[in-house]
Structure 1
Amino acid sequence: MRPIIILTIVGLISASLLALVDDITRDPIAKAKELMERRAIEEVFPFPLDSLRTVTEGETSFFEACDNEGRLKGIAVKTSTEKGYSGKIEIILAVQPDHTIIDYKVIYTNETPGLGDKISKPKFREQFKGKSLEGPIWKVNKDGGFVDELTAATISSRAITDAVHRGLEHINQQYPNTAEQ
């Protein structure tokens, strides 16, 4: 009976300590993630952010970059795909007011180092710049699209293409008249 009591006490103490650590670290982790996303947003826009408004629609967050007079200079969206080789890939996608791509930044990935993680390299990202939903076929070359897939990382290439395409669709749904302004 004594070992059961000791194990129960150890288990309760361990569970209490884990709960305490979780409680203490929850806010700092959330703030660090928020700061990382803010830096990613600043990196995808090629101009200084005079004003940045956040608009949340359901589970999707949009970021409106405006000039000093409140005119829209660009839109960013946080989006993701589950189609990566190692699962989820999250990005911040930035577009011009006419919905052409400025750039994207990978904020979370578990892709294979040295292969799939090349989706975040400037040379690969460059092929998306200036594209919009109209025109290109949103697939990798191997599947008849415009995206030059990475050697030995076709799945990662397909996944990032999916994430960027999803981001553009979210922006077009949230800002349908922006392209006409």
Structure 2
Amino acid sequence: MENRYIHFGIVLGLIAAISAGLLGGVNGFTSKVIAENTLKIVNEARKQVLPEAASFKEEEAKEAEGIQYIPGFNEAGEVVGYVASVAEPGYGGDINFVVGINNDAKVTGLNVVTSSETPGLGAKINEKEWQEHWIGKDATYEFNKSTDAFAGATISPKAVYTGVIKALNTYQNEVSK
């Protein structure tokens, strides 16, 4: 009877070891692919919000007040602006977005990367038309409930507005200097 338990224990241990080895190997392979795909998605979002940039250099990123600013360069290698990665608390959780800021401290684009806002209400911040509304705005822009928000949803748009203004002010006061 005892031999059976030892036998089953050894077999179970071997199965667990083989499974762990296979999972580790698959994870090692797929983690590189996932990281590459994530970088492609992020760079595409960066190009959407700072279209004048031909390339971005993460190694030259600046961080200020919890916001990461990645410089965008044109074909001649000149900085044409920065892409700021911002996270602001919304109604359904954090709203993560990237905002393009040109050298004149104006918004060149906005892209909400992830949000958990209420479908049909706050989730309208994910719509391209609403995001394009921010292009050309600067730090002096004041939130207008009738044009910036949606009926029944002001928390999500206000959170994006707060993040955009924070990014613009931090850019002007710390990053651009």
For this structure pair, what is the TM-score category when the shorter chain's length is used for normalisation?
0.7 to 0.9
Q: Indicate yes or no: 2:38 matched with 1:33.
A: yes
Deviations 1:132-153 (A, max 9, x none): 223525xx62xxxx86212333
CA distance in 2, matches of 1:133, 1:69: 28
Q: Give, as a single letter, the amino acid of the residue that structure 2 aligns with 1:65.
A: G
Match of 1:131 in 2: 137
Shift of 1:101: 1.1
**Pairwise CA RMSD:** 3.0
Match of 2:163 in 1: 163
Q: Where in structure 2 are there 5+ consecutive unaligned residues? A: none
Aligned length: 169
The percentage of counterpart residues that share the same residue type is 25
Where 1:128 maps in the other structure, the secondary structure is coil
Q: Give, as a single letter, the amino acid of the residue that structure 1 aligns with 2:41.
A: M
Where 2:116 maps in the other structure, the secondary structure is coil
Shift of 1:5: 6.1
Shift of 1:76: 1.4
2:125 pairs, out of 96, 119, 122, with 119
Q: Give, as a single letter, the amino acid of the residue that structure 2 aligns with 1:116.
A: G
Deviations 1:70-92 (A, max 9, x none): 433222112222x1233222211
Rg larger for? 2
Q: Where in structure 1 are there 5+ consecutive unaligned residues? A: none
1:72 pairs, out of 79, 96, 105, with 79
Deviations 1:100-119 (A, max 9, x none): 11111112223344433321
CA distance in 2, matches of 1:86, 1:13: 41
1:53 pairs, out of 50, 53, 57, with 57
CA distance in 2, matches of 1:4, 1:112: 50
Question: Is the alpha carbon distance of 1:50 and 1:14 closer, same or farther for their aligned partners in structure 2, counting shifts above 3 Å?
Answer: closer
Match of 1:103 in 2: 109
Shift of 1:98: 1.4
Q: Give, as a single letter, the amino acid of the residue that structure 2 aligns with 1:105.
A: N
Question: Is the alpha carbon distance of 1:112 and 1:28 closer, same or farther for their aligned partners in structure 2, counting shifts above 3 Å?
Answer: farther
Q: TM-score, normalised by structure 1?
A: 0.72
Preserved CA contact (<8 Å) 2:61 2:71: no
